[in-house]
């Protein structure tokens, strides 16, 4: 088997030692900071073009979007962490509750972060009297850059790698766990599933949303862009799960594929199972946005 050696990239973008304390900015944190800033500028560009939106009016002003970003960041952190705690390691954190705030040790769930963002958008829109559909579409448009850079950071961290593969672009991820591949003799090469997700959920979906928003008139139909985002992310994540290594807590001798749902000999991983509601919500929102509208005489 041949593949690609894992690149020698430190998880820390840069670090300093101050009074004996090691302070570092990791690529993972930097990825989300830069991704949110890029997404913010894309949404601002759309908000400054009222003709793109329903009724020729933007759903909020750029300053309101800036205020909403604070809510969204809190939603991402709180929702992502609690989602990981409840969905992935509830027993562990029930026994060690003091570890829940330890974000620096890792452990975030996209689905939990998404719920946190949706709650933040809903509460903010209600407080400010803003149209929820338009606000949600603006945030959906801004989301892919953070996903793209976040998945690249996952690759740099050598985490969330894929299943073993003999394809020429398989990567030799470091660590005993990554090299523990039953039935594989010698070096174990794995799918760089983080990069698959970066390309599908981040780059491809991001380009699609930008084209729909600025050229396709999607923003004139509230919820259409949000539904497209949910459906696009759901399809991408569902497909990548076929080659992504399940999280360790879902793998056991009796469940080596980390399956969460079984029927008639078929099974879905936990990632695919959690993605089903996103797929359904995406389809329903698209249908709702494209429903025939009554025209009053």
Whether 190 maps to a domain, the answer reads yes
Whether 81 maps to a domain, the answer reads no
List Cα–Cα distances, 45 to 33, 190, 215, in angstroms. Answer: 19, 40, 13
C-alpha to C-alpha distance for 180 and 84, rounded to whole angstroms: 24
How many separate domains does the chain show? 1
Whether 21 maps to a domain, the answer reads yes
The pTM is what? 0.88
pLDDT, one tens digit per residue, over 169-218 is 999 999 888 998 888 888 999 999 999 999 999 999 999 999 999 999 99
Query: Does 215 belong to an annotated binding site?
Result: no
pLDDT, one tens digit per residue, over 233-273 is 999 999 999 999 987 666 666 666 667 666 555 678 888 98
Whether 200 maps to a domain, the answer reads yes
Whether 144 maps to a domain, the answer reads yes
Whether 271 maps to a domain, the answer reads yes
Give residue 28's pLDDT. Answer: 83
């Amino acid at each position: 088997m041949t593949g690609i050696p894992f690149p020698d990239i430190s998880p820390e973008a840069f670090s300093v030692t101050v009074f004996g304390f090691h302070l570092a900015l990791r690529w993972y944190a930097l990825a989300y900071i830069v991704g949110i800033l890029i997404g913010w500028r894309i949404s601002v560009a759309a908000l400054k073009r009222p003709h793109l939106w329903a009724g020729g009016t933007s759903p909020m002003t750029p300053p309101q979007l800036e205020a909403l970003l604070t809510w969204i960041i809190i939603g991402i952190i709180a929702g992502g962490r609690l989602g990981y705690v409840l969905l992935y390691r509830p027993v562990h954190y029930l026994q060690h509750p003091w570890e829940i705030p330890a974000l620096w040790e890792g452990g975030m769930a996209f689905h939990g972060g998404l719920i946190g963002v949706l709650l933040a958008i809903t509460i903010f829109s209600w407080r400010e009297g803003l149209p929820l559909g338009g606000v949600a579409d603006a945030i959906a448009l801004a989301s892919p850059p953070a996903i793209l850079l976040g998945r690249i950071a996952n690759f740099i961290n050598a985490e969330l790698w894929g299943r073993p593969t003999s394809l020429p672009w398989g990567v030799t991820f470091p660590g005993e766990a990554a090299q523990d591949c039953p039935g594989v003799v010698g070096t174990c090469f794995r799918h760089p599933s983080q990069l698959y997700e970066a390309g599908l959920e981040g780059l491809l979906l991001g380009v699609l949303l930008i084209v729909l928003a600025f050229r396709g008139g999607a923003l004139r139909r509230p919820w259409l862009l949000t539904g497209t985002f949910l459906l696009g992310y759901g399809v991408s994540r569902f497909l990548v799960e076929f080659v992504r290594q399940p999280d360790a807590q879902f793998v056991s001798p009796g469940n080596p594929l980390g399956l969460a749902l079984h029927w008639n000999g078929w099974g879905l991983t936990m990632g695919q199972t959690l993605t089903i509601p996103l797929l359904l919500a995406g389809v329903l929102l698209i249908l709702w946005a494209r429903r025939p509208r009554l025209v009053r005489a």
